[in-house]
Chain A
Amino acid sequence: MARCPFGTQRTRRFIPWASIAIPGAGWLLFGLYPSLATIGYSFTRYSGLPGTPLNFCGLCNYSAAFTSLSSVVGDAVRVTLVYVVGATVLQTAAGLGLALLLNRPGRSYAVYRAVIFMPQIFSVAVVGAIFALMFDPYSGPVQKVVNGLFGATSAFLGSSSLALPLVILVNVWMFSGYTMLIYIAGLRNIPPSVYEAAAMDGAGRLRVFRHVTWPLLAPATTVTVFLTAMGTLGEYALLMVLTGGNFGTKTLGLYMYQSAFGGDSQLGYGSMLAMLQFFLTVVIGGGLLFTLRRREISL
Chain B
Amino acid sequence: MRTRTPVAILVATAALATVLGGCSPSSSDAGAGSGQKVTLTVAEWTNPGAVEFTKELNAKFEKAHPGVTVTLQTAPTANAAWQQLWNSMLQSKSVDVLAQFAPTQQGFAPDYTNLKPGGSSALVASGQLTDLKDQPFMKKYDPEVQAAAVGYQGGVYGVMAAQYVGAGGLWYKKDLLAKHGLSVPTTYQEFLDACEKLKKAGITPIFVSAKDGMHGGVWQGIANQMIMKGRQPSESVKVSEDRATAFWKGTQSWTDPVYREISERHTKIMEYIEPNASGVSQQTAPGVWATQADNYPFLLDGSWDGLTIQQANPKLNLGFFTLPGTDDPAANRVAFKPDLTWVVPASSRHKDLAMEWLAMFSEPGNYKKWLEKTGSLSTQTAVRNTELPWMDWLNTHMGDAFPQLSDPWTPAGAPIDAKGPDLYKMTPIGGDSIDTILSRSASAYRKSVGR
Contact = CB atoms under 8 A, between A and B. Distances in A.
B413 A259 contact: yes
- Main SS at interface, chain A: loop
B83 A262 contact: yes
Given A68-B447, A136-B280, A261 B127 contact: no
Given A67-B447, A154-B279, 4 more contacts: A50-B347, A136-B279, A257-B80, A266-B413
Contacts of A153: 275-276
Interface in A58-74: 61, 64-65, 67-69, 71-72
A127 to B, nearest CB: 13
A50 B101 contact: no
B424 A246 contact: yes
Interface string A239-256: 011011011000000010
Which residue among A51, A125, A247 has the maximum number of chain B CB atoms within 10 Å of its CB? A51
A257 B80 CA distance: 10
Nearest to A269: B412
A222 interface: no
A263 B210 contact: no
Nearest to A156: B279
Interface stretch (A16-24, A108-116, A157-165): A157-165
B415 A158 contact: no
Contacts of B444: 71-72
Contacts of A156: 276, 279
Contacts of A69: 411, 413-415, 447-448
A52 B412 contact: no
A51 B80 contact: no
A51 B413 CA distance: 22
A179 interface: no
Nearest to A73: B413
A47 B117 contact: yes
B119 interface: yes
Interface of A: 45, 47-53, 55, 61, 64-65, 67-69, 71-72, 125, 132-133, 135-139, 143, 153-160, 237, 240-241, 243-244, 246-247, 255, 257-259, 261-266, 268-269, 273
B337 to A, nearest CB: 14
10 contacts: A49-B126, A64-B413, A132-B281, A133-B283, A137-B275, A153-B275, A158-B277, A257-B80, A263-B101, A268-B412
A164 B413 CA distance: 22
Contact of B277 (A125, A135, A155): A155
B212 A265 contact: no
B177 interface: no
B255 interface: no
Interface string B263-279: 00000000000111111
Contacts of A160: 425, 430-431
B80 A262 contact: yes
Nearest to A241: B79
A66 to B, nearest CB: 12
Given A50-B128, A69-B413, A160-B430, A261 B279 contact: no
Contacts of A268: 412
A48 to B, nearest CB: 8
B128 A138 contact: no
B449 to A, nearest CB: 7
B278 A125 contact: no
Nearest to B83: A261
Contact of A135 (B90, B93, B279, B447): B279
B412 A136 contact: no
Contact of B280 (A72, A137, A244, A246): A137
B441 to A, nearest CB: 12
B288 interface: yes
B118 interface: yes
A172 B437 CA distance: 34
B123 A136 contact: no
B65 interface: no
